[in-house]
Amino acid sequence: MSDESASDVLARVRAAERRGDFLGAFDLARRGLETFPGDLKLGHRAVLALARSGATAGARAMLASLGATTDDELVALDARLWKDEALAATGELRAQLARDAAARYAALHARNGASYPAINAATLHLIAGDRVHATELAERALALTLAEKPTGDSLDAYWRAATAAEAALVLGRLEVAREHLVAARRANPDDHAALASTRKQLALVCAVRGCDPELIEALRPPAVAHFTGHMIGDRFAASSEPRIAAAIVAALVRHDVGYGFGSLASGADILFAEALLARDAELHVVLPFDAEQFARTSVALAGESWVTRFHACLARASSVTYGTLDASTDDTDALYAYGGQLAMGLALLRAGFLATHAVQIAVWDGKPARGVAGTGADIATWRRRKLVTDVIEIHDGSDLPFITSPPRVSPMHVKAILFGDIKGFSKLRERDVPKFVDYVLGACGRVLDECEVDIRNTWGDGLYLVLPTAGAAAHCASKLQAAIRSLDPAKIGPIGLRLAGHVGPVFDCFDPVIKQRSFFGSHVTRTARIEPVTPEGEVFVTEPFAAALALGDDNFACDYVGDVPAAKGFGNLRMCVLKQRGREA
C-alpha cells in the first residue's frame, strides 16, 4: 500500500463494496487510514462498510475516532447509525429512535437542502407513525430529485432514481415508484452494495405501507450460490461432462447467480467454477486444506487436464479460503466436511450482506453420502436449514451397487471451541481465592451445567470449553457473560470475562495427564490465540464461527471487528464480536 495514493486505496475500497465484500472493504479502508491518517473519505468508507455489515456499535466507535466534524457525509453517516439502531429495535423504542434519527436527517436537509437527507427523514417519520411529516418531506425529496440535472455519472443517476422511487413509495404512488425503480436498476448494473442498501430500506417502506414487496424485486442483487457435486469417477462419467456443463450454465442463468462459493474438485466443482468465471460472476473457492494436497487427492485422479483446469480456476478466483493448512492426518473426511460447511456458511453471510437469495446448486445422483462429507452431506445440511437446492440429476452410477458400510470411527470432529479469561483474578488477595472459586467459578459451573458442553476445563482464571456446535457455543458464551455481569463486585471485587470462539476440526483423544477425554489440534491453538486480544466483557469469534452460525442459528449476529492480529505472532484473523439479537451477548 506504500506506493498507493489515498485515491488508489479509496478506489479499491469502493470496488470491494460494490461486490458486497464489506469486511474486505473495511480492512482496506482501515489500513489506508494507517498510511493516510485523518483522510475523511477513507474514514467515511470504513464506517460505512461496518454499518453495511451490520456492525453498528463498531461503526459508531469508528466514527467517534474520526473526531467532531461538520462534513456532510459524516453527519449523514451519524444519522444513518441512529437509523440502524432504530430499525434493530421494536415497538415504541423503534418509534422513538426513528424520530430521533429523522430529526438528525431533517437538520442536515435544512442545512444543505439535499434530497438524500430529506427522503431518509421522510421514511423514518413513516416508520415512527408520523405520516404528516413523512408526506411533507417525501414531496420535497421527490421535487428536488426531479429538478436535479443529470451529471452523466451512472451511480448519481441511480441514486436520483432510487430516491424518487422511495419518495413515491412513501407517498403511496406505486406506479410512479415502479417507473423509477426500473430506471434505477438500468443505471446500476454492478454496484450490488448500493442495490442491497436501497432494497433493504424500500422493504421497510413496503411493510409500513402494506405494498406488495414484489414491487422492489427489480433492485435485488444477483443471487449467491453454494455449489457442490460429484467428482469424475463412478458417479460422474467423463462422457457426461458436456451435458452437465450445459445444465450448470442454465442453472446459473436461471437463478441469476453473481457469486459462487464451493470447492474445486474434478467434475462438478470445476465445471461450476468455469461457468461462474465465464459469466463474470465472482468465484470464491473454499478448500479443506492446502491446494497442492487437494489437487493430488481430489483432482489428479481424473487426469492431468483437470489439474490444469484446477490451477486456472484457482488463479482467477476472487478469494481462496483454506479450512486448515495442515492436513497431515490420514483422516481427511472431517476436513472435507468442515470445508463444505464453511463454504455454505460463507455463502449465507454474503447473501445476507447483499439482501439477496442464497441457493444451492448440486450435481447429484440422489444417493446419500458415503461418509460425513460429500454431495449428499452438503445437500442434507443445506436442507436442514430449509433452504432451496436446485439438483442437476446425474445417474452415471445407477447400475452400480451402492455400498454402504458402518461409519468409520474417526478421531477428528468439527467442534466449537471457547477460551475464556476472568479479569480481576490476578489482583485478588490470597485469602480471597477460595471465595473466587466458590462465587465466580461456581457461577460459571452452574451455567455450564445447563449448556451442551463436550468437555470443560479450568486453570485458575482460565476456561477451556468444547461444544458440539457454534449455536451451542454462542448460547453458552452469552449465558456466561450474563452470569459474570450479574455478580456483586462488593463480594469479590471488579470481575470481567473475555471469551474467544472458533469452529474447526479437532482430535478427540484421551489425555493421559488429566486422565480425561479432551480435544487437541491447531484449531484449539488458534482459539487460544484469540482470547488475549478480546476486550473484557466481549465474545470475539472467527469468521468460520460466524459462518457456522449463519448455517445453523438465527438467534445471534456476528458484528465484524476487523482483520485482528492474534496473540504470540499467530497471524491476522478476521474477527467478529458475538451479539445476541435484541440484546448484547
- What element of type H or E holds 108? helix 91-112
CA distances from 550 to 256, 358, 375, 385, 547 (A): 22, 12, 20, 10, 5
| Rounded (to 5) percent helix, strand, coil in the chain | 55, 20, 25
Looking at CATH, the fold of the domain delimited by 223-393 is given as: Rossmann fold (3.40.50)
pLDDT for the residue 283: 97
Residues of the chain with pLDDT under 50: 1, 583-585
- Whether the Cβ atoms of residue 224 and residue 258 lie closer than 8 Å to each other: yes
Task: For residue 394, give the C-alpha cell.
Answer: 446425474
pLDDT for the residue 417: 96
pLDDT for the residue 372: 78
- Whether the Cβ atoms of residue 548 and residue 349 lie closer than 8 Å to each other: no
User: Which parts of 173-267 fold into alpha helices (H)?
Assistant: 174-187, 192-209, 241-254
pLDDT digits (tens, 9 = 90+) for 50-62: 888 877 888 888 8
For domain 412-584, the CATH class is alpha beta
Sequence ranges of the chain with CATH classification 1.25.40.10: 6-219
pLDDT for the residue 400: 60
Alpha-carbon distance of 81 to 101, in angstroms, equals 8
pLDDT for the residue 584: 39
pLDDT for the residue 249: 98
User: Which parts of 66-90 fold into alpha helices (H)?
Assistant: 72-88
CA distances from 72 to 202, 377, 392 (A): 23, 51, 51
Sequence ranges of the chain with CATH classification 3.30.70.1230: 412-584
The DSSP secondary-structure symbol of 55 reads -
Query: How many alpha carbons fall within 13 Å on the CB side of residue 268?
Result: 26
pLDDT for the residue 402: 56
pLDDT for the residue 583: 47
User: Which parts of 113-153 fold into alpha helices (H)?
Assistant: 115-127, 131-147
Sequence ranges of the chain with CATH classification 3.40.50.450: 223-393
Task: For residue 475, give the C-alpha cell.
Answer: 448460547
Q: What pTM value is reported for the model?
A: 0.85
CATH architecture designation of domain 6-219 = Alpha Horseshoe (1.25)
